[in-house]
């Protein structure tokens, strides 16, 4: 199994992309929590060029979903949560309780939060779209400033136009 990485620039700082056997396995913002344990050698892959193109389109508000081969590693419950994250539409949010209910038990809220925090593919698997039950911005491995930026970026144009600052 070959693991390689590349670093791309984003409006939120450097983003390390990690691929394993031709699929994106993880990504990590400079200064974020939970850095990957394995980066592998630096490489120049078509996958990384495509990811960079898609991130540029996303940050220019020309892309609302990513279309990249993904291969995150996690426990079965984490994988279930990450699949639910991919179903949250661009420009919308859900609460941890919403996701727990989708999994069959509102008491899973904390476990959902823990799985959300371990998401190795943030932005692509949009864990930033999960907020607290009271609407508060809770936890984001890339930092709350990045979460705030991503949510503002994805705001519907009508909401964004109504802002005073």
Q: Give catalytic residue positions.
A: 127
Residue 116's φ and ψ, nearest 5 degrees, are -60, -40
Is the distance from CB of 139 to CB of 117 less than 8 angstroms?
yes
Question: How far is 99 from 53, CA to CA, in rounded Å?
Answer: 30
Is the distance from CB of 3 to CB of 25 less than 8 angstroms?
yes
User: Residue 19: enclosing H or E segment and its boundaries?
Assistant: strand 13-20
């Amino acid at each position: 199994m070959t693991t390689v990485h590349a670093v791309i620039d984003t409006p939120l700082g450097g983003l390390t992309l990690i691929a394993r056997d031709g699929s994106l396995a993880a990504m990590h913002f400079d200064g974020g929590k939970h850095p990957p344990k394995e980066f592998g050698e630096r490489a120049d892959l078509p996958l990384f060029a495509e990811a960079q193109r898609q991130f540029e389109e996303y940050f220019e508000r020309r892309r609302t979903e990513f279309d990249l081969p993904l291969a995150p590693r996690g426990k079965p419950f984490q994988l279930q949560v990450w699949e639910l994250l991919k179903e949250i539409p661009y420009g919308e949010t859900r609460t941890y309780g919403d996701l727990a209910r989708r999994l069959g038990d509102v008491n899973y809220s904390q476990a959902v939060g823990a799985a959300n925090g371990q998401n190795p593919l943030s932005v692509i698997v949009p864990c930033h779209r999960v907020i607290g039950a009271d609407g508060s911005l809770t936890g984001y491995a890339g930092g709350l400033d990045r979460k705030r930026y991503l949510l503002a970026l994805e705001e519907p144009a009508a909401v964004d136009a109504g802002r005073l600052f």
